[in-house]
């Protein structure tokens, strides 16, 4: 027997087949002619394709309330971060990091806090005593299989009226591959009541 080994690579996902055909050589005609002897081998190249979606959800943690929600001071709101792999291969070493301090468009950072996180680690990015950032690995053993969705749920609140926008950034092997933002709007009503007589005096009846 004779063994030949070939190495190949591709630049896009898909199934690639390579066929080998045995030829016979005629000394008489000095030509090559295919014989009924050949074989084919195929391999499939896969690639992950992930996206990140950040929004607010209702108490059931499922119904989306959109990418902004309005609450009063110190009233908690539920945020959700979803990472979706729509590709054909595993997404490995997927990590989501909150970049709140870089993405705040308005509001007092010292008044904003993360109360809870379903998976991962909360941190105090500016040293003010409030947890306002997070870091979380996605999926079992830090990978996300094709067609799967990984979900992070966390609760946020703020003690001062204003708009608090933060961005969750998706990393694959420390490479930024996408981000999405959601904004917590804190608006607290201030009610007053005034009662006055008009006119000051009247006749009986």
pLDDT at 98: 57
DSSP 118: S
Rg from Cα positions in the chain? 31
* pLDDT the model gives residue 170: 80
Spatial separation of the C-alpha atoms in residues 109 and 88, rounded to whole Å: 40
Q: For residue 97, name the pLDDT band (cuts at 50, 70, 90).
A: low
Tell me what pLDDT residue 118 has: 82
Whether pLDDT at 39 is above 60: yes
What φ, ψ does residue 76 adopt, rounded to 5°? -70, 150
Q: What is the mean pLDDT of residues 27-36?
A: 91
Q: Give the model confidence (pLDDT) of 43-79 as tens digits.
A: 988 888 888 899 999 999 999 999 999 999 999 999 9
129: left (phi over 0), alpha (psi -120 to 50) or beta: left
In this predicted structure, the answer to whether residue 177 has a pLDDT above a threshold of 60 is yes
**Who wins on pLDDT, 107 or 115?**
115
Sign of CA dihedral 127, 129, 131, 132: negative
DSSP class of 109: G
């Amino acid at each position: 027997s004779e063994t030949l080994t070939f190495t190949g690579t591709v630049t896009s996902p898909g199934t690639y087949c390579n066929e080998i055909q045995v030829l016979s050589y005629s000394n008489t005609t000095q030509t090559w002619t295919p014989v009924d002897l050949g074989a084919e081998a195929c391999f499939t190249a896969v690639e992950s394709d992930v996206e990140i979606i950040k929004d607010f959800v209702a108490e059931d943690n499922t119904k989306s309330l959109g990418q902004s929600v309005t609450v009063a001071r110190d009233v908690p709101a539920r945020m959700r971060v979803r990472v979706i792999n729509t590709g054909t291969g595993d997404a490995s070493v997927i990590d989501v990091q909150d970049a709140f301090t870089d993405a705040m468009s308005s509001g007092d950072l010292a008044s904003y806090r993360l109360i809870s996180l379903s998976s991962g680690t909360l941190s105090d990015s500016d040293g003010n005593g409030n947890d306002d950032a997070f870091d979380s690995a996605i999926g079992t053993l830090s990978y996300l299989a094709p067609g799967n969705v990984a979900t992070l749920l966390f609760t946020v609140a703020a003690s001062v009226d204003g708009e608090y926008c933060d961005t969750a950034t998706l990393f694959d092997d420390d490479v930024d591959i996408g981000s999405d933002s959601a904004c917590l709007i804190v608006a607290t009503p201030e009610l007053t009541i005034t009662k006055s007589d008009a006119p000051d005096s009247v006749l009986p009846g």
